[in-house]
Amino acid sequence: MNFSWDDSQVELKNKVVKFAQEHLNKSYLDQDKNCAFSREDWQKCADFGIQNLSIPNAYGGTLDDVGVLGVTFAMEGLGYGCNDNGLPFSINAQMWTVQLPIAHFGNEDQRNKYLPALASGKWIGCHALTETNAGSDVFNMETVAEKVDGGYIINGHKRLITLAPVADIALVFAMTNPKLGKWGMSAFIVERGTKGFSTSSNMEKMGMRTVPIGELHFKDCFIPEENRLGKEGAGWSITNHSLEYDRCSILASQLGAMERQLEETIDFVKNRKQFGQSIGKFQSVSNRIADMKLRLETSRLILYKVAWLKSQGKSAMMEAALLKLQLSESFLSSSIDTIRNYGGNGYMSQNEIERNLRDAVGGVIYAGTSDIQRNIIAELMGL
């Protein structure tokens, strides 16, 4: 494993940081307050080439040039430069759980139809797995796709779906043969406007309020066979394939946010004076800073290891679970420590210190809760 970055990777990351700092930090506080999604910022990212990073060159993307390690480093830069944690989160969700599955499992027609539209910002895509009775227990899924002449009829619902209220397409998972359990699940690309398919409006949440989240509803919704992604029964392979990349890249942006948070906190504790000295000179305060640094650097090592394994085409199930657990819990702990170090100012919404804490809570839930990551780690160790 080589942890040194080449010049092109460093240059891309620096460019992403500069772009984010200059173009994405204008109105995120109002957006957070009003739960407002900015299609304009989404488009700016597409114009810069962010969404394109997970698309193979053959379909107009840059994945083959940049590589998984380079993309991870660039997405770390996006998280560092963009003060709004929601935007990198939602872009990552589309890049790895919609674009990548289409690139990897789609046929030529599907790749040519959907990938350029998603990369250019014209379309937004969401990934729909979760249901009322199927959260961690994915295979308790009740949404069914019944085979009919020329396609499938989908009935059911999805909830907690990132970008659902604004998505132009949804990658939807449904049971085509419930008796087969995980091997009876298939994936479908459903376009907005399809008869029998509707989405809810945005549902308010505590953090990442700039990202719309909502429900999908299917009532006798006919989907032509050509919109099935991969073979019938390939749903579990499709979602599993994208999860390792998704965890790696979403968390890369969180690592960038943690670095920004640490730098800002160090700056604050150096300048804030109590009892005639900088509060950073009090060991209770500096110990918290040391813990934040430790969390950042241990998370960084696992992140780069996962990215390196994926860049080698290797499986990273254990490492991706370790990363998800370590990095998301670290961001949460460091966000509480940051508030402690800022004192009362940290608690006040107007100072935007508490926003990271609200955003970080989501990280220990989405893409598999921390409990589920511990289960995966234990199981992979034979327990």
Ligand X SMILES: Cc1cc2nc3c(=O)[nH]c(=O)nc-3n(C[C@H](O)[C@H](O)[C@H](O)COP(=O)(O)OP(=O)(O)OC[C@H]3O[C@@H](n4cnc5c(N)ncnc54)[C@H](O)[C@@H]3O)c2cc1C
Tell me the CA end-to-end span of the chain in Å, nearest whole number.
Answer: 28
Of residues 195-214, which lie at the interface with ligand X (CB under 6 A)?
208, 213
Please give the Cα distance from 163 to 175 (Å, whole number): 22
Would you call 20 helix, strand, or coil by DSSP? Answer: helix
Angle at 287 between CA 281 and CA 292, to 5 degrees: 120
Nearest to 167 by CA among 132, 130, 129, 213: 213
**Least distance to ligand X, CB of residue 130, Å:** 3
**Least distance to ligand X, CB of residue 368, Å:** 6
Would you call 145 helix, strand, or coil by DSSP? Answer: strand
Of residues 75-134, which lie at the interface with ligand X (CB under 6 A)?
93, 126-130
**Least distance to ligand X, CB of residue 364, Å:** 9
Sign of the Cα torsion 325, 328, 331, 332 reads negative
Nearest to 143 by CA among 179, 178, 97: 178
Can you tell me which of 135, 151, 233, 343 binds ligand X, judged by CB under 6 A? 135
**Least distance to ligand X, CB of residue 139, Å:** 12
Determine if 331 is a binding residue for ligand X (CB under 6 A). no
Question: Between 155 and 375, whose beta carbon lies closer to ligand X?
Answer: 375
Q: Which two tokens stand for residue 367?
A: 């893409």
Q: Which two tokens stand for residue 153?
A: 């009829």
Q: Which two tokens stand for residue 213?
A: 């989240």
Determine if 325 is a binding residue for ligand X (CB under 6 A). no
Which range binds ligand X by CB under 6 A, 71-79, 310-318, 321-329, 371-379? Answer: 371-379
Binding mask 149-178 for ligand X (x = CB under 6 A): -----------xxx----------------
Question: Between 24 and 129, whose beta carbon lies closer to ligand X?
Answer: 129
Question: Between 88 and 368, whose beta carbon lies closer to ligand X?
Answer: 368
**Neighbouring residues of 195: CB distance < 8 A, sequence distance ≥ 6:** 221, 222
Determine if 64 is a binding residue for ligand X (CB under 6 A). no
Question: Between 155 and 345, whose beta carbon lies closer to ligand X?
Answer: 155
- Encode burial over 239-265: b for 16+ CB neighbours within 10 A, e otherwise: bebbbbbbbbbbbbbbbbbbbbbbeeb
**Least distance to ligand X, CB of residue 20, Å:** 21
Binding residues for ligand X, total number by CB under 6 A: 21
Of residues 348-367, which lie at the interface with ligand X (CB under 6 A)?
362, 365-366
Of residues 237-296, which lie at the interface with ligand X (CB under 6 A)?
none
Cα maximum dimension of the chain: 79
**Least distance to ligand X, CB of residue 159, Å:** 8
Distance of CA 49 to the CA centre of its chain: 17
- The binding site for ligand X (CB under 6 A) comprises 93, 126-130, 135-136, 160-162, 208, 213, 362, 365-366, 368-369, 371-372, 375
